[in-house]
């Protein structure tokens, strides 16, 4: 449910987060358990359950999410970076509000575990 969602609560200011960017459609904040020197999340204000929860009506929003993640990476210590979207518990998704991980600031191995 959107109202009980952790990231919806961060958007509403009910749970604190260290924000690095926000506009009318997106919010970006530093991950509470960083996996790299640069690790922040970019989320839409609109509650979508994850990548598979987006519809064609969300195409522009999802495109902006990716572009903004790339733009913010370069401006926050990660000229080389990885963008990650987890979908489903088996893929590592733990918060069911669409979020783009932006990781960088150290060498990143491939493939991920």
- Could you list the residues that contact ligand AMP (CB under 6 A)? 6, 15, 17, 29, 31-33, 86, 92-95
8 binds Zn ion (CB under 5 A): yes
Q: CB-wise, 56 or 112, nearer to ligand AMP?
A: 112
Q: CB-wise, 68 or 97, nearer to Zn ion?
A: 97
Provide the strand spans (E) within 4-104.
19-22, 26-30, 38-44, 81-84, 100-104
- Nearest distance in Å: CB 43, ligand AMP: 10
Active site residues: 99
* Residues in CB range of 7: below 8 A, 6 or more apart: 41, 43, 47, 95, 97, 99
47 binds Zn ion (CB under 5 A): yes
């Amino acid at each position: 449910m959107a109202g009980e969602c952790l990231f919806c609560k961060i958007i509403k200011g009910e749970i604190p987060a260290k924000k690095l960017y926000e506009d009318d459609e997106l919010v970006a904040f530093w991950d509470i358990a960083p996996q790299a020197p640069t690790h922040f999340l970019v989320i839409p204000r609109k509650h979508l359950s994850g990548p598979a929860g987006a519809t064609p009506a969300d195409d522009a929003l999802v495109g902006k999410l990716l572009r903004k993640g790339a733009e913010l990476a370069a401006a926050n210590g990660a000229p080389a970076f990885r963008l990650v979207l987890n979908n489903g518990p088996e893929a590592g998704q733990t918060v069911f509000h669409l979020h783009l991980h932006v990781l960088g600031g150290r060498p990143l191995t491939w493939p991920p575990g």
